[in-house]
């Protein structure tokens, strides 16, 4: 298939939609981003990349980082992790306290905020400190992306913390249910740190190859997790990867994926490739508007879908 041609066609069709969504505005640093930007990258198992648009432009990966921290947590805790964080869709906005309270402080899945905060807490317990935890997370991302120059945007991390009272509320609630081991502020700051990492679509599509290929990197042959763990992360991405629009994404796109409020989305075609798309304008559920459409066009044009 001529992937470059497909990307070009997608860009043409997507152009009129750019600017339709709403850039994340809960922190000042993110709200000033130009919504008329677009990038898309495909990485095949031999490492070949196809790119379109601003594919070298860095952006805040935000919730996409939850895929990486969940990978680390699953690797070290395996299924023992299940009592702390479930893997059911939440059926509620991503930062809702209601469900967390009714379900006694056990988050529904690792991709809603409470779940990802809990995963970060588990990693801090495993790595013994928030500093070493952040270090291990970013080293892991650099490894799977095969790229050393990946960093956190400290201004974003600080600004998140300043406006992070809802996440502090979620973490405190889990702690009141004895489902958080470490200090609330430490855990939340570490969580914001990994959310504030910056990448571009080239790096992100490259970084997801291990999930498209049963847990090991087809280019470097490094094994990160077991095939069964990779399969499970993909299942959680499919059922819970897009907040309250996860069903919509499965229905229209049909690929396991994960979005972030920075406007990025990653997705995989099992046994074939990994993709990433970026456009900062968001839809009502907090997912990239043009990005979601671009992936839907991709599966329509290629017939690639897990269903």
Q: Which residues bind a copy of itself (CB under 8 A)?
A: 86-92, 96-99, 101-102, 108-109, 165-166, 168-170, 172-173, 175-176, 184, 228, 230-232, 234-236, 238-240, 244-248, 250-252, 254, 256, 270, 300, 305-307
Task: Check: CB of residue 212 under 8 Å from CB of residue 269.
Answer: yes
Kindly state the smallest distance separating residue 234's Cβ from a copy of itself, in Å: 4
3-state SS string for 28-97:
HHHHCCCCCCCEEEEEECCCCEEEEECCCCCEECHHHHHHHHHHHHHHHHHHHHHHCCCCCCCCCCCCCC
Are 286 and 243 contacting, i.e. CB atoms less than 8 angstroms apart? yes
| C-alpha radius of gyration, the chain, whole number | 18
Tokens representing 20 are 């339709």
Strand order in the sheet with 264-269: 49-53, 39-44, 273-278, 264-269, 257-259
CA–CA separation, 61 and 138 (whole Å): 12
User: How far apart (Å, rounded) are the C-alpha atoms in residues 79 and 73?
Assistant: 10
Q: Based on CB atoms, which residue is closest to a copy of itself, 82 or 151?
A: 82
CB of 53 to a copy of itself, least distance (A): 27
Q: Which is nearer to a copy of itself, 52 or 170 (CB)?
A: 170
User: Closer to a copy of itself at the Cβ: 68 or 278?
Assistant: 68
Least Cβ distance, residue 125 to a copy of itself (angstroms) = 17
Nearer to a copy of itself, 236 or 295 (CB): 236
Closest distance of CB 232 from a copy of itself, Å: 5
Instruction: Choose between 142 and 272: whose C-beta lies nearer to a copy of itself.
Output: 272
Q: Which is nearer to a copy of itself, 96 or 279 (CB)?
A: 96
Q: In b/e form, how buried is each residue of 189-214, taking b as 16+ CB within 10 angstroms?
A: bbbbbbbbbbbbbbbbbbbbbbbbbb
Closer to a copy of itself by CB, 16 or 303: give it: 303
How far apart are CB 135 and a copy of itself at their closest, in Å?
Answer: 28
Q: How far is the CB of 237 from a copy of itself (least distance, A)?
A: 9
Residue 284 CB, nearest approach to a copy of itself (Å): 13
Strand order of the sheet with strand 151-152? 59-60, 197-199, 151-152
153, 226 contact by CB (below 8 A): no
């Amino acid at each position: 298939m001529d992937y470059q041609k497909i990307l070009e066609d997608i860009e043409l069709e997507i152009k009129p939609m750019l600017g339709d969504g709403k850039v994340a505005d809960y922190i000042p640093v993110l709200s000033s981003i130009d919504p008329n930007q677009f990038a898309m990258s495909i990485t095949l198992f031999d490492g070949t990349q196809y790119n379109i648009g601003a594919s070298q432009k860095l952006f805040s990966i935000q919730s996409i980082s939850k895929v990486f921290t969940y990978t680390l947590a699953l690797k070290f805790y395996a299924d023992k992790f299940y009592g702390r964080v479930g893997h059911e869709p939440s059926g509620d906005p991503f930062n809702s306290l209601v469900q967390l309270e009714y379900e006694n402080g056990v988050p529904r899945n690792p991709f809603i905020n409470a779940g990802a905060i809990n995963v970060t807490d588990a990693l801090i317990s495993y790595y013994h400190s928030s500093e070493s935890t952040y270090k291990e997370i970013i080293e892991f991302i650099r490894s799977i992306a095969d790229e050393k120059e990946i960093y956190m945007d400290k201004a974003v991390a600080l600004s998140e913390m300043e406006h992070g009272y809802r996440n502090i509320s979620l973490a405190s609630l889990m702690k009141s249910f004895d489902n958080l081991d470490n200090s609330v502020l430490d855990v939340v700051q570490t969580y914001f740190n990994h959310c504030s990492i910056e990448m571009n679509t080239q790096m992100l599509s490259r970084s997801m190859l291990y999930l498209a290929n049963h847990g090991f990197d087809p280019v470097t042959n490094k094994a990160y997790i077991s095939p069964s763990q990779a399969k499970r992360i993909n299942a959680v991405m499919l059922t819970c990867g897009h907040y309250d629009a996860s069903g919509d994404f499965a229905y229209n796109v049909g690929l396991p994926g994960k979005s972030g409020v920075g406007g990025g989305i990653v997705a995989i075609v099992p046994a074939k490739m990994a993709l990433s798309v970026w456009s900062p304008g968001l839809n009502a559920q907090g997912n990239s508007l043009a990005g979601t459409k671009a992936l839907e066009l991709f599966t329509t044009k290629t017939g690639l879908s897990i269903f």
